[in-house]
């Protein structure tokens, strides 16, 4: 197994690293207003543009198309989230939709329980079915998957040249917050909330998750209409990600 590749072991190491360094950094870095705002901004860039828009709606469900330049800009952002390469993330999420809330769900409450951080190493439990991601089995995506960690490390070197604090406030802390919000989302969006649709799974719409993941909080709506750009069904179910997509879609 390539040390730099996108797999459960690598992602668990990234998450453990951000947990330890986030706590350690509290005693070494200055939490000025500008640094706090930088952390919040970076979190939303990763959470909304990297995960919700790019890995989720663009790569997994192919809800829209982007200009090639934007494609690579947002792909790079998605890599920095520490949640896996597009190839790996899409594989897991498509399994989630196929087997949601069953014993084969890779990150449902039934199989994972609630974890503040960590990934289930499903690749050592089952033989990967690459047909699930046949649309991403191309040289560029396979390169990203193979050298996933190396790409992140290269970016951290660039940040360190600019200012060592940039690593902490634009990557370590935001990625730590991403893992907390995403793991909470994977659990609570199948446990608590209301349902607009009687889907085959236990997906729910959850108001409490909205401030962190915006439109993805309407998870039951998404499971009922996975290929749609927007998750909004009712007037108050605001989905700003869909509004942004309408501006950049090809």
Residue that has been written with the tokens 């439990």 in this structure: 125
Q: Is residue 96 part of a domain?
A: yes
Q: What is the reported pLDDT for 198?
A: 95
Task: Kindly state the tokens that stand for 244.
Answer: 């942004």
Task: List per-residue pLDDT tens for the chain, 250 residues long.
Answer: 577 898 888 998 999 999 999 999 999 999 999 999 999 999 999 999 999 999 999 999 999 999 999 999 999 999 999 999 999 999 999 999 999 999 888 888 887 777 766 655 444 345 667 788 999 999 999 999 999 999 999 999 999 999 999 999 999 999 999 999 999 999 999 999 999 999 999 999 999 999 999 999 999 999 999 999 999 999 999 999 999 999 999 8
Q: What is the reported pLDDT for 126?
A: 53
Domain count, the chain: 1
Residue 54 carries which DSSP code? I
Which residues are 194's β-sheet partners? 205
Q: Is residue 225 part of a domain?
A: no
CB atoms within 10 A of CB 163: 11
Compute the distance between CA of residue 8 and CA of residue 85 in angstroms, rounded to an integer.
Answer: 11
What backbone phi and psi angles, to 5 degrees, belong to 5?
Answer: -70, 160
**Among candidate residues 50, 27, 5, the one with its CA nearest the CA of residue 170:** 50
Q: What is the reported pLDDT for 231?
A: 97
| pTM metric for this prediction | 0.92
Domain that holds residue 67: 8-193
3-state secondary structure of 170: helix
What Rg do the C-alpha atoms of the chain give, in angstroms? 18
Task: Kindly state the tokens that stand for 84.
Answer: 């896996």
Q: Is residue 78 part of a domain?
A: yes
**Among candidate residues 233, 173, 142, 175, the one with its CA nearest the CA of residue 46:** 175
Task: Kindly state the tokens that stand for 208.
Answer: 């409490």
Q: Is residue 183 part of a domain?
A: yes
């Amino acid at each position: 197994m390539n040390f730099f590749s996108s797999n459960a072991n690598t992602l668990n190491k990234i998450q453990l690293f951000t947990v330890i360094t986030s706590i350690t950094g509290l005693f070494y870095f200055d939490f000025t207003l500008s640094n706090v705002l930088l952390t919040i901004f970076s979190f939303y860039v990763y959470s909304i543009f990297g995960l919700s828009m790019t890995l989720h709606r663009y790569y997994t469900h192919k809800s829209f198309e982007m200009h090639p330049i934007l494609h690579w800009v947002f792909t790079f952002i998605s890599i920095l989230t520490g949640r896996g390469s597009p190839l790996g993330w899409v594989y897991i999420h498509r399994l989630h939709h196929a087997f949601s809330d069953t014993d084969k769900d890779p990150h449902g409450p039934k199989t994972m329980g609630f974890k503040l951080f960590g990934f289930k190493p499903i690749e050592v439990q089952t033989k990967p079915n690459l047909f699930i991601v046949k649309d991403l089995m191309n040289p560029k995506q396979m390169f990203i998957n193979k050298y996933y960690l190396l790409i992140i490390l290269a970016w951290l070197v660039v940040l360190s040249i600019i200012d060592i604090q940039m690593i902490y406030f634009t990557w370590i802390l935001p990625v730590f917050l991403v893992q907390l919000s995403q793991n909470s989302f994977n659990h609570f969006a199948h446990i608590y909330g209301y349902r607009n649709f009687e889907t085959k799974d236990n997906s729910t719409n959850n108001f409490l998750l909205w401030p962190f993941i915006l439109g993805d909080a309407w998870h039951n709506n998404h499971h009922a209409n996975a290929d749609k750009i927007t998750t909004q069904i009712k007037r108050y179910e605001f989905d700003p990600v869909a509004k942004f997509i309408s501006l950049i879609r090809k």
